[in-house]
Amino acid sequence: MAFKRPESVLIVVRTDTNAVLMMRRSGADGFWQSVTGSLEPGEGASACAVRELEEETGLVAPVRDCHLTSRFVIRESALHRYPPGTVHNTEHLFECVLPAEVAVRLSDEHTEYTWLPPQAAIERAWSETNRDAIRQLTAA
What is the per-residue pLDDT across 76-97, written as a single tens digit (0 to 9) for each?
Answer: 989 999 999 999 999 999 999 9
Between residues 140 and 18, which one has the greater pLDDT? Answer: 18
CA separation, residue 78 to residues 22, 33, 57, 82 (Å): 21, 16, 23, 8
Say which CATH superfamily domain 7-138 falls into: Nucleoside Triphosphate Pyrophosphohydrolase (3.90.79.10)
Amino acid 92: pLDDT: 98
Residue ranges of domains in the chain: 7-138
Instruction: Check whether 140 has a pLDDT greater than 70.
Output: no
Q: End-to-end CA distance of the chain, in Å?
A: 41
Q: Over range 20-29, report the average pLDDT.
A: 93
Characterize the bridge pairing of strands 88-98 and 7-15: parallel
What are the backbone angles phi and psi of residue 75, rounded to the nearest 5°? -60, 145
Instruction: Check whether 27 has a pLDDT greater than 90.
Output: no
